[in-house]
Chain A
Amino acid sequence: MNHAVPPLAELRALRREGLAHDPGRTRALLGALEDPLDLEAAGALLAGPAAREQLERAPGLTGRRVALLGSSTLDQLPHLLTAAMVRDGMVPAVRSAGFDQWQWEILSGAPELREHRPDLTALLLDDHALYGRVADPLDIDAVEAACAELPGTLREWTAAAHELLGGLTVLCTIPLGPLGRDRIVDYRTKARLDAAWHRMNAAILELGGALPATVVLSHDGIAAHAGGTVFGSHRMRHIAGQIFAPRFLTAYADELSRVARAQLGAARKCLVLDLDNTLWGGILGDDGIAGLRIGGSYPGSAHRELQETARDLAAQGVVLAIASKNDDEPVREALATHPDMVLSPSSFAAIRAGWDPKPGNVREIAAELNLGLDALVFVDDSPVERGLMRSALPEVTTVELPPDPAGHAAHLAARGDFAVLALTGEDRDRARLYQARARRAEARADATDLQEYLQDLGSRLTLEAAGPLNTERISHLFGKTNQFNLTGRRYAPDDIAGPAAGTGFYAARLTDRFGDNGLVAALALSGQPDSGWRIDNLVLSCRVFSRGVEDCLIALLLNAARRRGAPAVLAGFRPTPKNRRFADFYLRHGFTEAVPGREFRHDLDDIAGPPHWIEIAEPEGAFHAH
């Protein structure tokens, strides 16, 4: 909107009205800000005692106390942290130790911070923390010795800080400023400096596993979220002693906020994914399963990467769910059968594919999984769906995706919505538990609902013998059907129009109250001189899977064979890369194995009736072998 109120002006207006009133609006405003300077200014407006007092009374916001220490000027950090934490559902009271006072503050018993009793104490150092310990920065032996010593100093510092302040301590690796390296002219010494620096940072990173209640962040990881930026302008370094770029500090504040949220156990737990143009490229309803773009070249590779990211999250305890505008059956079919699909129906604890508005589906998913709405993260490529979700269910975290799918996986992962301090066995098992629970619930629901649904459909099946009008289409159906294709054998129009002696072709047409599905199945039948009839191939369009069409065809065929006095019906199965699911089709329909896995025989003694929800046109005259 061109004439929208500028965000800072709106924030000030909200504060005048009372922030406790509508914290969702404040959080949304903060979420929409991207520029570090705007975030800092917004945070400043919320950091004062009056604003904080208002926010602490707001529903859904949790108060947190944070202490910040560093070796450079970090004036912007408290405000950036306030903006990030309020956006993420917390109200921080931030207190900072003075400029470069990090060591003295703790050595002297934390006079500034002790009474603050921080939940979280964060230390952000720059290379001054090291160069302040050597007399000559070109004395590489001295620099190496200082690099080797600093992790031990930090270990003692952390133990002392924890003793004095309690809570969680958050350390960060130390970036080497460009001048530190670039003032050295010889490459051998440069390399020694970098090697010593990396060893130092590696030892600092190891403190996270060695000390209790300690998290160590990597400045490289933070910089990666800040477009690679660590250092600010040289002018601000000279004017104010500001070492870090506002962009880096923004990403650092985001990370601290995630740590604070993880400390509260408030990490998100469930990822709700859209399908069309999100989990795969293309529209399932329009393009069909074979037309979906997953894997292979871009953009299929990008959609596959998102699936892999979701799979990796699931392996770490994130529960996956689907909210998609599609029919349920083709969605499960696509997930189960597309060869490049990383995720399968069993990857998801809940699948909501239908045509109702998504917020209702997402609410159902939360209820079914017994999760709060605020545990859900919603990912959808459509700005319309995202807008609808934000306005209908603001508690759900709706991810703003870039338009190009290339960055979707990286963008989702970088948000860190699911960050936890340390993964437990329970986390790892969670996804599996939820999936099993959802499957049971679904099976119960299915037993009643599916029958009713099929009954309601009013399906009507008509068999057609091959003739001039349908030969092309029967040939086409054999040709394009890959999954339910029991021998993989294709037939050219000429084969169908002039069949070999004893061979007949049939097609089945399915209509229901929604319309005509066209030809959905085709069957190649041959008469065997001594043993009866033989099904040379049977294909069924995946559009009508699970509607009983195949059961109906088999029942009709077996009955027709018996009526005409055939001793048995034989059938063949030949495995192909795509038809494995149906290897036991004939066994499930009362046939016995004549040649294991390949040839089957039905003696026509005990023929199951066709499904009662399908009406059959002219059941008596259905089949006749040539």
Chain B
Amino acid sequence: MPTDTEPAMPTDSGVPTDAEPVDSRSMAVDCGSMAVDVARIVADLLDVDQAGLTPATLLADIEGWDSVNQLRLLLHLERDLSAPLDYDRFLSAASLADLVLLARHTAAGTA
């Protein structure tokens, strides 16, 4: 049963809800002993400037984004989170904020 304390899901538009904002200063996800910095992973894998990435950045707008890079990102996120991501939610993530929330819920076991 859903409860009031359950984290909100990201909206389809990729804009985070008020209850769970994604801060542009930190797109890191607390994962046990280490922080998984989603923006840094995206920047390294697609070889783009991390400073140009904000939670609102749409993945499709990032230079070099394609299905191959999408899969590379999936593998890196799953490795760093030590957990599999929900594949449908991963595919439907439109913005960086969507990815951060998915990673956050995965790390918390609430995805």
Contacts and interface: CB of A to CB of B under 8 A. Distances in A.
Contacts of B40: 9
B72 A41 contact: yes
B79 interface: yes
Given A8-B44, A44-B47, A239 B87 contact: yes
Contacts of B71: 75, 236, 239-240
Given A48-B47, A236-B71, 13 more contacts: A12-B44, A12-B47, A37-B75, A37-B79, A41-B44, A41-B45, A41-B72, A41-B76, A44-B45, A45-B47, A239-B71, A239-B87, A246-B75
Interface of A: 8-9, 12, 35, 37, 40-41, 44-45, 48, 75, 235-236, 239-240, 246
Q: Is the interface of B mostly helix, strand, loop or mixed?
A: helix
A463 to B, nearest CB: 70
Contacts of A246: 75
18 contacts: A8-B44, A9-B40, A9-B44, A12-B44, A35-B79, A37-B75, A37-B76, A37-B79, A41-B44, A41-B76, A44-B45, A45-B44, A48-B47, A235-B84, A235-B87, A236-B71, A239-B87, A240-B71
B90 to A, nearest CB: 10
Contacts of A8: 44
Interface in B6-57: 40, 44-45, 47
The 7 closest A-B pairs by CB, nearest first: A8-B44, A75-B68, A240-B71, A37-B79, A37-B76, A37-B75, A41-B45
Contacts of A41: 44-45, 72, 76
B111 to A, nearest CB: 16
Contacts of A45: 44, 47
Contacts of A44: 45, 47, 72
A240 to B, nearest CB: 6
Contacts of A35: 79
Contacts of A9: 40, 44
A12 B43 CA distance: 10
A12 B87 CA distance: 30
B95 to A, nearest CB: 22
Interface centre among B44, B45, B47, B79 (most CB of A within 10 A): B44
A236 B75 CA distance: 9
Q: Is the interface of A mostly helix, strand, loop or mixed?
A: helix
A44 B46 CA distance: 9
A9 B49 CA distance: 11
Nearest to B80: A37
A134 B84 CA distance: 35
A244 to B, nearest CB: 13
Nearest to A51: B47
Contacts of B84: 235
A41 B87 CA distance: 21
Nearest to A48: B47
B82 to A, nearest CB: 13
A236 B79 CA distance: 14
A596 to B, nearest CB: 75
Nearest to B69: A44
A209 to B, nearest CB: 38
Contacts of A37: 75-76, 79
A44 B87 CA distance: 24
Interface string B68-111: 10011001100100001001000000000000000000000000
B53 to A, nearest CB: 14
A45 B72 CA distance: 13
Contacts of B76: 37, 41
A282 to B, nearest CB: 39
Nearest to B44: A8
A35 B79 CA distance: 10
Contacts of A40: 72
A236 B87 CA distance: 11
A75 B75 CA distance: 13
Nearest to A240: B71
Contacts of B68: 75
Nearest to B84: A235
A44 B44 CA distance: 10
Contacts of B72: 40-41, 44
A35 B72 CA distance: 14
A70 to B, nearest CB: 15
Contacts of B79: 35, 37
B69 to A, nearest CB: 9
Nearest to A8: B44
A235 B44 CA distance: 24
A73 to B, nearest CB: 9
A278 B7 CA distance: 57
A446 B44 CA distance: 58
Contacts of B45: 41, 44
Contacts of A75: 68, 71
A35 B71 CA distance: 17
Nearest to A232: B75
A410 to B, nearest CB: 27
Contacts of A239: 71, 87
A75 B44 CA distance: 17
A402 B45 CA distance: 31
Contacts of B75: 37, 236, 246
Contacts of A48: 47
Contacts of A240: 71
Interface centre among A41, A48, A236 (most CB of B within 10 A): A41
A242 to B, nearest CB: 8
B32 to A, nearest CB: 17
A48 B68 CA distance: 15
Contacts of B47: 12, 44-45, 48
Nearest to B37: A6
Contacts of A12: 44, 47
A136 to B, nearest CB: 31
A41 B68 CA distance: 12
A240 B79 CA distance: 17
A37 B77 CA distance: 11
